[in-house]
Amino acid sequence: MPRQGPEEQDQGVSTPAPSAPPSPASAFPAPPRLYRKGSGRVLGGVAGGLADHLGIEVVVVRVVFVLLAATGGVGVAAYGLLWVFAPQDPFETVSPRDRGRDLSALLALGSLTAGGLLLMSALGIGVRPGVAVPLLAVGIGVSLLWRQADDASRSRWRQVTGTHRLSGLARAGIGAALVLIGSAPFLAGGPGRLAGSVRGLVAALIVAAGLALVSSPWWVRMARDLSAERSARIREQERAEVAAHVHDSVLHTLTLIQRHVDDPRAVARLARAQERELRGWLYRPGGTAPDPELALGAALEGVVAEVEDTHGVPIEVVVVGDCPMDEGLVAVRDAAREALVNAAKYAGGAAVSLYAEVEPEQVTVFVRDRGPGFDPDAVPEDRLGLRQSVRGRMDRHGGRAVVRTAPGDGTEIQLEMPRGNGRATRSTP
């Protein structure tokens, strides 16, 4: 048994609160997340990642992309979107060999752009060479910038030597320059050849689109980084808060309990107080306990905690409904405290319970113990507890107290108070 002790205790402490349950035992494991693959990629690793995600051959994916691209360009759009929004596989380190593919990626992209332009001219969407060449330039520029914004490249600039950073900057510069060159014919020829204001507008739009395209990788990345960072920070904060709370309360109490092993009453009191505190913390998210000065339920719980602490008797509390405190209810609270103290003192350690119910017209509180009970007529006149503190207090505030007891049958004290008594005296007793 002593061997098992610590293990059990450890288990008890570390069992987490009801967390998200693990997915039910199903035969199908969840498919792997969609990532872009760094190894064996031709362009952005989209096809490879998609193949892993769907569990099919990468060749099939590539063929489908090419077919979709050839029949109307949907494939290109889909590929582009996936490239932007699928994160790079974080569990994969890119081998140097794959880095060498940057060039081939560039070639692939360039040829794609060229092919698209040729296709357009073949279809008769008159693309003059004067436009096609700048467009091609823009395409290559954009592709360079895309490469630059790639997750892996970014981290590479950070950690590795200045040459990489230089090359990154160079790439950014070249990309921007190409965009400018691409848009130059539109801008320069504006007033002369492209006399129509519509054409000027189109040119402006193209430039704007180019700039948006060039800058979008940073926006996307920035948004991604920001949300990832924020959720990490929140998690960290929560963990720190839980750790702090456990340290301040539970660990502290456990230490105290170990110091008081010879005093069962003290141990019981400590454990009970800690339990109450922990419950309040667990089941009242936000950690904001209702103010005992404001709500009846909290007021009664506060009284119960006080009596439990001073007398070391566990008290069960059930409160149905709740309402704001007023003058009459303060009397109820104080009378209930007195009744609880009586029960704790004279019930001989038997169970004590408090039940309170808030109804539209009145508030009723029952304090019950399973102690020996007593004969009300045999109580000497000078014992003030019940007579003054409970009955007198209730009477003064327009309520009433009823005591039910008999020797051997326990005691129950019933407190009744009409609602709205303290604020407006409209109630007729």
Partner 1 sequence: MTDNSNASSASHASHASPEEGAARPPRTVRVVLVDDHRMFRSGVKAELGAAVEVVGEAEDAAQAVAVITATRPDVVLLDVHLPGGGGRAVLADLTTTMPDVRFLALSVSDAPEDVIAVIRGGARGYVTKSITGPELTLAVRRVADGDAVFSPRLAGFVLDAFAATTDVAEVDEDLDRLSAREREVLRLIARGYTYKEVGKALFISVKTVETHVSAVLRKLQLSNRHELTRWATARRLV
Q: Residues 6 or more apart from 307 whose CB is under 8 A from it?
A: 313, 315, 337, 340, 341, 344
The answer to whether 254 and 278 are in contact (CB under 8 A) is no
Nearer to partner 1, 139 or 314 (CB): 314
Q: How far apart are the C-alpha atoms of 332 and 397, rounded to whole Å?
A: 9
CB contact set of 20 (below 8 Å; sequence gap of 6+): none
> Residue 303 or residue 315: which is nearer to partner 1 going by CB?
315
CB of 387 to partner 1, least distance (A): 23
**Running DSSP on this structure, what letter comes out for residue 419?**
T
Nearer Cβ to partner 1 (10/327): 10
The percent of the chain in helix, strand and coil, each rounded to the nearest 5, is 60, 10, 30
Contact between 182 and 135 under an 8 Å Cβ cutoff? The reply is yes
Shortest distance in whole angstroms from residue 267 CB to partner 1:
16
* Nearest-approach distance from CB 217 to partner 1, in angstroms: 42
Q: Which residues bind partner 1 (CB under 8 A)?
A: 8, 11-12, 15, 18, 21-22, 24-25, 279, 283, 285, 290, 314, 316, 318-322, 351, 353, 355, 357, 366, 368, 370, 412
Q: Which of 328, 342, 344 is nearest to 393 (CA)?
A: 328
Which lies closer to partner 1 via its Cβ, residue 19 or residue 161? Answer: 19
Query: Which CB sits closer to partner 1, 115 or 321?
Result: 321
Minimum CB distance to partner 1 smaller for 15 or for 428: 15
- CB count in 10 Å sphere of residue 350: 15
Residue 404 structure tokens: 């039910």
What's the min distance (Å) between Cβ of 203 and partner 1? 57
Least distance in Å: CB of 20 to partner 1? 10
Output 264 or 321, the one with its CB closest to partner 1: 321
* Closer Cβ to partner 1, 12 or 126, answer by number: 12
Residues 6+ apart with CB under 8 A from 418: 328, 361, 362, 398, 399, 427, 429
Cα 56 from Cα 48, distance rounded (Å): 10
Contact yes or no for 398/349 (Cβ under 8 A): no
Give me the least distance between CB of 178 and partner 1, in Å please.
56
Q: How many CA atoms does the CB half-sphere of 282 hold within 13 Å?
A: 13
C-beta of 320: minimal distance to partner 1 in Å? 5
In the complex, what is the shortest distance from the CB of residue 21 to partner 1, in angstroms, rounded to a whole number?
A: 5
